[in-house]
Amino acid sequence: MSEETFPGSALRPLRLQIGGQTIAGFESPGAGRQILLVHGNSSSSRIWQKQLQGPLGAKYRLIAIDLPGHGASSPAPNPEQGYTGAGYADCIAAVARELGLKNAVLVGWSLGGHAVLNAVASLPMAAGLMIFGTPPISKTPDGFSGFKGLSATTFTPAPSDAEIEEWMRTAFAPGYSPLPSFADADFRRTDGNARGCLGASAQAGRFADEVEIVRNLKVPLVIVQGSEEQIVDLGYLQRLPAPTLWRGQVQVIEGAGHATQWEKAEAFDRILDEFASSL
């Protein structure tokens, strides 16, 4: 992501050296609690633009990063390891250490939510977690049943234009318009290995039991769901054993699809603000 992405804004570009790779992102001017924002598959930190540049970014220190192989971050040096739940988790934990985060809220959208759950054991500085567009997976036979419309494009290194277009439609509420102008470019810019290796690792069973992670969390967890979500099943989330679930229920945002933070930014920001203020 370039500075031109946010013309005239007070955002500070980030460029971190994490091991053998560069992790890019942006930081908002707010001085409040630190909140780390982690985007989804084939997206970038640009999906958090409304949070970074809005009232939330003025109140809190929002930090949005580009995962390896996404946005302006460099590709993973070892794709078979870097583009897995564990690989992304290692990156998030390293970013948190590099930035010296303390009592921070970790927010993960879609793939970012899986990555945050994988990282929590390495994040003693986390005061709370928020996930959305993320059904925690498990090692049981129905471990992926939280997905009701997961497209094969998610794991396709070089999808066709038609496949990308269809994937974009599922990432938002049915009929949502206009789509963010950068969404297609972010997808095409993503290292194709990030999708291919993620799919291969899942097929090989190389993933953590996230249901158990949620069951054993020691910090509050917010789960958000758009009422028009096309990828994740609400019933699955509502049945999830989550002892630290904030307010005791999934927070449903009416009219939003998978990209809740973009489609219904005001409602999303209100929930995140109330959660961060409650910790």
Instruction: Please report, to the nearest 10 degrees, the dihedral formed by the alpha carbons of residues 169, 171, 177, 183 taken in order.
Output: -100
Token pair recorded at residue 58: 């003025």
What pLDDT is recorded for position 86? 96
Cis peptide before 180 (omega within 30 of 0): no
What pLDDT is recorded for position 3? 38
What pLDDT is recorded for position 132? 98
Which whole-number Å values give the CA distances from 269 to 104, 194, 206, in the listed order?
16, 29, 34
First to last CA, the chain: 31
Token pair recorded at residue 114: 């899986």
What pLDDT is recorded for position 20? 87
> Is residue 107 a contact partner of residue 272, using CB atoms and an 8 Å limit?
yes
Where the chain has pLDDT below 70, the residues are 1-9
Tokens 């036979």 belong to 141
The residue ranges of every structural domain in the chain are 3-278
What pLDDT is recorded for position 2? 39
The closest alpha carbon to 114, from 22, 213, 239, belongs to 213
What pLDDT is recorded for position 10? 85
What pLDDT is recorded for position 19? 85
What pLDDT is recorded for position 149? 86
Question: Which residues is 130 bridged to in the sheet?
Answer: 107, 222
What pLDDT is recorded for position 5? 56
**Amino acid occupying residue 206:** R
3-state secondary structure 97-165: HHHCCCCEEEEEECHHHHHHHHHHHHCCCEEEEEEECCCCCCCCCCCCCCECCCCHHHHCCCCCHHHHH
CA 95 to chain centre: 15
CATH-assigned architecture of domain 3-278? 3-Layer(aba) Sandwich (3.40)
Token pair recorded at residue 145: 């049943």
